[in-house]
Amino acid sequence: MQRTRFGDMACSIARTWDVIGEPWSPLILRNVYVGIRRFDQLQASLGISRKVLAERLRWLVEAEVLARREYASRPARYEYTLTQKGTELCDLLLFMVRWGDRWTAGEAGPPVLYRHHACGEISHVEPRCSACGGPMSATDVDVLPGPGAKTGPAPADEPEDQLSVGDSGPTSA
């Protein structure tokens, strides 16, 4: 629906949003992830309009997040499965779950629990640094321009190049 396309921005958040930022998309992914793979199943379990579901599935297949597979041929029947790209999006979903559990679950507790295969514990996902393995949150990093910065149709419109995070000082001066 958003008329502004985010896919062309030089920002990985915007480009990720371009893929799954439409309403229902993450919930569709989640349901495919847990094994709800057929059109009618998805429609019934989500309560989504069939029209919108068809649009989303088409988009997600085009983005190579889902694959459309014929699982029966004579009445042609299709199911949607996760690609590698889509499976890694589910890792992102795990983080959404984590945040939702912490900030929106309330007293009832989390609606769903996750048991880690490797250790068998009920746990949750935590952000760690790929280099040192230590905890890595948004407050633990500096933001620097990378090689893919400023490669778009907009050459030098915005003056901000070096972004410093967390400088809470100067605004009150």
Q: Which of 61, 148, 153, 155 binds a copy of itself (CB under 8 A)?
A: 148
Minimal distance in Å, beta carbon 58 to a copy of itself? 18
Residue 47, amino acid: G
Work out the end-to-end distance of the chain between its first and last CA atoms, rounded to an integer number of angstroms.
41
Q: Which of 74, 144, 155, 161 binds a copy of itself (CB under 8 A)?
A: 144
Whether the Cβ atoms of residue 55 and residue 24 lie closer than 8 Å to each other:
no
When asked if residue 167 is in the footprint of a copy of itself (CB under 8 A), the reply is: yes
**Helix 12-20 to helix 25-33 angle, to the nearest 10 degrees?**
70
- Considering the complex, state which of residue 58 and residue 96 has its C-beta at the smaller distance from a copy of itself: 96
When asked if residue 111 is in the footprint of a copy of itself (CB under 8 A), the reply is: yes
Q: Which of 42, 48, 57, 60 binds a copy of itself (CB under 8 A)?
A: 48
Q: Tell me how far apart the alpha carbons of residues 117 and 14 are, in angstroms, rounded to a whole number.
A: 32
- Considering the complex, state which of residue 73 and residue 139 has its C-beta at the smaller distance from DNA: 73
Which listed option, DNA, a copy of itself, none, makes contact with residue 124 (CB within 5 to 8 Å by class)?
a copy of itself
Q: Which of 43, 53, 61, 110 binds a copy of itself (CB under 8 A)?
A: 110
Q: Nearest Cα to 2, choosing from 22, 27, 24? A: 22
Q: Which spans of this chain sit near DNA (rule: CB under 7 A)?
A: 1-4, 22-24, 38-41, 47-52, 54-55, 57-58, 68, 71, 74-79
Whether the Cβ atoms of residue 13 and residue 7 lie closer than 8 Å to each other:
no
Distance of CA 115 to CAs 26, 38, 119, 122, 160, Å? 21, 26, 8, 4, 43
- Considering the complex, state which of residue 58 and residue 94 has its C-beta at the smaller distance from a copy of itself: 94
